[in-house]
Amino acid sequence: MKIKAATKQAMNPLLLTAAQLKSREDQLLVIDVRGWFEYWLGHIPGAQRLNQNRILKDIGKDQPIALTCLSGHRSAIAAQRLVSQGYRQVYNLQGGLLAWQSAGYTVQRGNRP
């Protein structure tokens, strides 16, 4: 299943439900924008913990990226910033980790993605 890329004119990141992210996680770079302690307490398996500066430095603007946090608020702010910096395939997990857990998906604990 292909993910439709956001166009250059798009001013907002695209929202993903937990089920949509789960079905597409092999096509997306999942990034958790929370601090290290929150990440350590629990995150989506495979999610990397990166701040915006690292993303801007290390991730290409054509890379499909899904951002997450606990509730989806901080990741929505970070996603909007990435879109404004020219990132074209930015997605935000609607409801964040709480929605992921509510959908019954597993959470990984510790520092490893």
* DSSP secondary structure, 77-94, as one string: HHHHHHHHTT-SSEEEET
Annotated catalytic residue, options 14, 16, 21, 69: 69
- In the chain, where are the structural domains located? 14-102
CATH 3.40.50.300 fits 14-102, yes or no: no
Task: Over range 93-107, report the average pLDDT.
Answer: 98
CB neighbours of 103 closer than 8 A, spacing ≥ 6? 17, 18, 19, 22
Residue bearing tokens 């510790």: 110
Rounded to two decimals, the pTM is: 0.85
Catalytic status, residue 69 = yes
Q: What is the pLDDT of residues 53-96, one digit of tens each?
A: 777 788 899 999 999 999 999 999 999 999 999 999 999 999 99
**Residue 109, both tokens:** 């604990």
Whole-number Å distance between alpha carbons of 111 and 113: 7
Note the pLDDT of residue 6: 45
